[in-house]
Amino acid sequence: MTSADTDVATRLVDEARTRLERCATLDELRSAEAELVGKRSALATAHRALGGLPPDERRRQGQLLHQARSTVEALVAERRQTVARAERQRWLEADRLDLTEVLPGPRRGHLHLVQRTRDELEDVFVGMGFVVAEGPEVETDWYNFEALNIPPAHPARGMWDTFYLQIGEPETVLLRTHTSPVQIRVLQEKRPPVYAVMPGRCYRRDTPDARHIPVFHQIEGLVVDHGITFAHLAGTIETFTTAYFGPDIHSRLRPAYFPFTEPSAELEITCTICHGAGCRTCSQTGWIELGGCGMVDPAVLGAVGLDDEEWTGFAFGFGIDRCAQMRHEIPDMRILLDNDVRFLRQV
């Protein structure tokens, strides 16, 4: 073996190593591979030249070239692994999405104050062991009035100015004036014990003013179980009041009348503006009316086929918009419907 022959093989391998190191992509590697070990490569040319050599010499040089080719092929395979890994890494980097990125431009949306208030009220009651139920906004006279112990032409109907729909017989289908019909739907679906709150939109033919809007929201509460008393009602209301409005805000119940509860009460809370001292918002009384409540009237239990000797319960219903108004000190409730972006934008 002459050193010149070894030199040729070593040089071919060295050149191949340098050439391969310059390859950064799989495409580049493919053409380098063709140049280094393909038909027109220096290795192939050297191989072809073996034919003109004497047999001994041919075998010797043939072995050297063969070894060189194996080494180069191994180098190509090794380089292919490195390049493929790097290429995949670059691809992943380029494809990465930064989900925490805050883009300049339009602000992100958020829930309307009324929806947020509804969610928070639900949370308070769910925390007290209530389930959440819903009913339709379009109701029949039976659910909205009759089953709630308000027969046709009963004077108490005047408590709710009703929007009727022109469907079926006149004045049989309406937009619900309160969430109380959902009490009936819940009791039809599930036997007691029942502990449920029922939030939703209601409609009344009211002229809008600072404290009334014709489309508003209520959350109804209903408990029916063995041995439920007025004390349970008062305790539930007080627990809710301090949980939602804070420890310095309290509730009080004042005698009132609703056809579907007996006895009935108006539910009031400490005025959040003056904390009970008296101000213009609460007409100097220190209290704000949130809604109504009372013990479920036996006639209501009868309407859904429950034995009023066995079961007793309480119900309440109050304004979600009113809660938002009290908690956030909103002077005029009409702003909730105005879609004034300066109001909506406030989180």
Whose Cβ is closer to ligand PHE: residue 87's or residue 308's? 308
CA atoms within 13 A on the CB side of 82: 12
Q: How far is CA 68 from the centre of its chain?
A: 65
Contact with ligand PHE (CB under 6 A) among 135, 181, 259, 317? 317
Whose Cβ is closer to ligand PHE: residue 180's or residue 236's? 180
Contact with ligand PHE (CB under 6 A) among 143, 258, 287, 311? 258
Q: Is 234 helix (H, G, I), strand (E, B) or coil?
A: helix
Query: Residue 117's CB: how many other CB atoms inside 10 A?
Result: 26
Q: Does 316 bind ligand PHE (CB under 6 A)?
A: yes
Distance CA 143, CA 134 (A): 14
Would you give the binding string for ligand PHE spanning residues 175-194, x where CB under 6 A is met? Answer: ---x-x--------------
Q: Which of 333, 146, 121 is nearest to 244 (CA)?
A: 121
Q: Going by DSSP bridges, is the β-strand pair 194-203/173-175 parallel, antiparallel, or unpaired?
A: unpaired
Give helix then strand counts, H and E, for the chain.
12, 9
Would you give the binding string for ligand PHE spanning residues 32-61, x where CB under 6 A is met? Answer: ------------------------------
* Smallest distance from ligand PHE to CB 316, Å: 5
Whose Cβ is closer to ligand PHE: residue 61's or residue 162's? 162
Which range in 33-41, 106-114, 258-266, 302-310 contacts ligand PHE by CB under 6 A? 258-266
DSSP state of 212: B
* Smallest distance from ligand PHE to CB 260, Å: 6
Distance CA 100, CA 102 (A): 6
Q: Does 259 bind ligand PHE (CB under 6 A)?
A: no
Q: Is 266 helix (H, G, I), strand (E, B) or coil?
A: strand
* Smallest distance from ligand PHE to CB 337, Å: 19
Main-chain phi, psi angles of 313, to 5 degrees: -165, 170
Whose Cβ is closer to ligand PHE: residue 187's or residue 293's? 293
Chain contacts with ligand PHE (rule: CB under 6 A): 178, 180, 258, 261, 264, 291-294, 315-317
